[in-house]
Structure 1
Amino acid sequence: MAESTPAEQEAPFRAQLTEYLAHLGVERGLSEHTLAAYRRDLRRYAAFLAVRGRSGFDQVTEADVAGYVEAVRTGADGGHPLSASSTSRAVVAVRGWHRFATVEGHTNNDPAAAVRPPGATKRLPKAIAVEEVDKLLAGASMAEGVLGLRDRALVEVLYGTGARISEVVGLSADDLELHAEHPSIRLFGKGRKERIVPVGRYAVDAMDAYLIRSRPVLAQSGRGNSAVFLNQRGNPLSRQSAWAVLQLAAERGEVAGHISPHTLRHSYATHLLAGGADVRVVQELLGHASVTTTQIYTMVTPDTLREVYAASHPRARG
């Protein structure tokens, strides 16, 4: 007996699939590109169900849906394995189709409601060594004239406070308390949530040099504003321009690897924890709503585990 084709396999669900795709295109207004992706995902799903002997929505179980998710992730159904993002899209398509079938009265059963895409693998945040931070700061200082003072201050504040780039370029003069008994900066994070973070002496000195000798010069070209960091036209420094400052500083300082504002934020948190800071203190400094977000910085690599074991366990030495 000849093996059935994908078109033959999906036949039991063809009418429902055609109806749903028409709904997505006409009523939901999905683009042709998105619609094509949904069509591929759902035809593959219909074929998968048919191979498992399902000929209608009432026969589909949660185990079938979960099995499909695993199949497309690994290629176990004979198709091309999908990436994590593409698998997530496939799960959204399947959940939407089942929900549509329920609303339209094709079935009272929604086996996909509780199925979620597989979690993405957590990666350790990228952090650079303290020596690399020093090289980055040196590279920032290589810019000519007033820009060198600005760039040095920018990098010092990013690394010295762990602030997001949007928080730093959004600083105004009223947010600075650099000469108080305990110098600090007021930052506005996501949702305009305010937090006060301490500033170290290196950042204070760099900011003083910038504010006294550089910013007044830059401000002459502008129309007057309270932004702390300015561009050459006297306007507030943009996120893109701040990013470019870091890229150039890394190039001049010969810092290897990809350096971004988030690299300094990760390095700030990693170096604090390595120095003995409590994770909940770091959570407050970073402005994380949940400590679970901060706890990713406490993850250690297998190499670190082996090193600690070799140095600490009495039976590790042979």
Structure 2
Amino acid sequence: MPTGAPSQPDDEAAEIITAFERHLRLERDLSPHTIRAYVSDVTSLLHHLRDQGTGETWLTGLDIATLRHWLAAQHAGGLSRATLARRTACARTFTAFCHRQGRIPTDPGLLLGSAKAPRTLPAVLDQPQAQAALTPTEDTTPKALRDQAILELLYATGIRVSELCSLDVGDMDRTRHVIRVVGKGRKERTVPFGLPALRAVDLWCVNARPLWSTPKSADALFLGTRGGRIDPGTVRRIVHTRLRQVEGAPDLSPHGLRHSAATHLLEGGADLRSVQELLGHSSLNTTQIYTHVSIDRLRAAYRQAHPRA
């Protein structure tokens, strides 16, 4: 049986997976995306255990050798370093959980080395491309006004797509030009935005949102065409569609607008700590990648322009 495509688990495995999923959601407070990935990884690991014939129960034989064998099989299957790093982290989380619950006598994950995901520099818009992407169209339909407001707010604040989708109308302070954002780990932060974003959101809220609002809209700031809270997939399509209209622009996701906003802030003289706070990074190391983006762009400009580069 292929490790990457496990079959339906039996009752014992299903009980373990359900308990682990509950732990991730209630105790670890991980994002739904991370929970789905971890549950898939653990399902793969449990089937690997059963396929190895380690015993009559699912967790018999869960030791460091088996973990390494499972990861080696993943690597042989051609998985990326980033995926292997996530699966290593998941395995460590799972064995610690099983040990605390008394399901296994020791925690083999403590002996498992931490795989490092490659730190690749993100693609970003340059400032003229960002300006072109945010230039309003002449379209004044509700969809066009909503899309413009979403693009302006994503770039103005650098918030994550999940954070944007969870915004309520009351989260925007129009007087102080800030929004209240609930990020990873339910950590709350306040993020400023500028006049273009304020104007775009006001146009949406006054002229368009009431036309789509239904009882199921509740207080959601951005709505889908049927009146429910907008979903991340719709936001991604909005960003891709707009960037396809900008000549020379890379095809970015909403996270690419976040990268672009951070890079442009640093290029404009913002200090690293302020950008860290704005983005909601728990570690300054995560924010520092944007300094590398700026330096690489500076080197490229130097090589192109300097006669003795």
Q: TM-score, normalised by structure 2?
A: 0.64
SS of 2:288's equivalent in the other structure is helix
Q: Do the aligned residues in 2 keep the contact of 1:149 with 1:209 (CA within 8 Å)?
A: yes
Residue number in structure 1 paired with 2:120: 123
The DSSP-based 3-state class of the residue aligned with 2:150 is helix
2:34 matched residue in structure 1: none
Matches within 5 A, 1:25-104: 26-28=57-59, 38=69, 41=72, 84=81
Seen in structure 2, the aligned counterparts of structure 1 residues 290 and 156 have a Cα distance that, compared at 3 Å, is same
Distance 1:87 1:117 in 2: 10
CA shift, 1:129, in A, is 1.0
Q: CA deviation at 1:211?
A: 1.0
TM-score normalised by structure 1 residue count = 0.63
Residues 184-223 of structure 1: pairs in structure 2 closer than 5 A: 184-219=178-213, 221-223=214-216
Is contact 1:165–1:261 with CA below 8 Å preserved after alignment? yes
Deviation, structure 1 residue 251: 2.7
- For 1:137, which of 134, 138, 150 is the aligned residue? 134
Aligned mates of 2:181, 2:270 — CA distance in 1: 21
Distance in structure 1 (CA, Å) of the matches to 2:134 and 2:154? 11
Give the drift of 1:28: 3.4
Report the Cα offset of residue 233 of structure 1.
1.4
**Aligned 1:1-318 pairs, distance under 5 A:** 21-23=52-54, 26-28=57-59, 38=69, 41=72, 84=81, 116=113, 119-138=116-135, 141=137, 145-178=141-174, 180=175, 182-219=176-213, 221-254=214-247, 256-300=249-293, 304-305=298-299
Would the alpha carbon gap of residues 186 and 277 (structure 1) be closer, same or farther in structure 2, given more than 3 Å must change? same
Tell me the distance in 1 between the aligned counterparts of 2:250 and 2:111: 41
| Contact 2:82 2:118 (8 Å CA) reproduced | no
**Any idea what SS the aligned residue of 1:22 has?**
coil
Aligned residue in 2 for 1:11: none
User: Quick check: 1:87–1:117 contact (8 Å CA) kept in 2?
Assistant: no
2:39 aligns with: none
Listed one character per residue, the Cα deviations across residues 225-283 of structure 1 (whole Å, up to 9, x for unaligned) are 11011111121111111111112222344563222110110011000000110000000
| Deviation per residue, 1:86-140 (Å, 9 max, x gap) | 87679979xx9xxxxxxx9xxxxx9x965625533311122111221222223x6
C-alpha separation in 1, matches of 2:298 and 2:114: 31
Q: Any unmatched runs of 5+ in structure 2?
A: 1-48, 96-103
Tell me the amino acid that sits aligned with residue 22 of structure 1. Answer: G
Identity of aligned residues (%): 33
CA distance in 1, matches of 2:246, 2:133: 5
d(CA) in 2 for partners of 1:81, 1:246: 30
Secondary structure of the residue that 1:299 maps to in structure 2? helix
Distance apart, 1:309 and its partner CA: 9.3
Look at both structures and tell me which one has the larger radius of gyration over its CA atoms.
1
Give the secondary-structure state (helix, strand or coil) at the position aligned to 2:190.
Answer: strand
Deviations 1:131-151 (A, max 9, x none): 21222223x636561111111
SS in 2 for 1:186: strand
CA distance in 1, matches of 2:220, 2:277: 25
- Against the structure 1 CA distance between its residues 137 and 23, is the aligned structure 2 distance closer, same or farther, given a 3 Å change threshold? same
SS of 2:229's equivalent in the other structure is: coil
| 8 Å Cα contact 1:158/1:168 also seen in 2 | yes
Runs of 4+ residues deviating >6 angstroms: 79-82, 89-93, 309-312
Distance (whole Å) between structure 1 residues aligned to residue 77 and residue 201 of structure 2: 54
Q: CA deviation at 1:84?
A: 3.0
Conserved? CA contact 2:217–2:229, under 8 Å: no
The answer (yes or no) to whether the contact 1:222–1:233 under 8 Å persists in 2 is no
* Cα 1:311–1:204 shift into 2, 3 Å: same
3-state SS of 1:195 partner = strand
The structure-2 alpha-carbon separation of the partners of 1:185 and 1:317, relative to structure 1 and needing over 3 Å to count, comes to same
Mapped contact 1:155–1:246 kept (Cα < 8 A): yes
Whether the 8 Å CA contact 2:71–2:84 is kept in 1: the answer is: no
SS in 1 for 2:52: helix
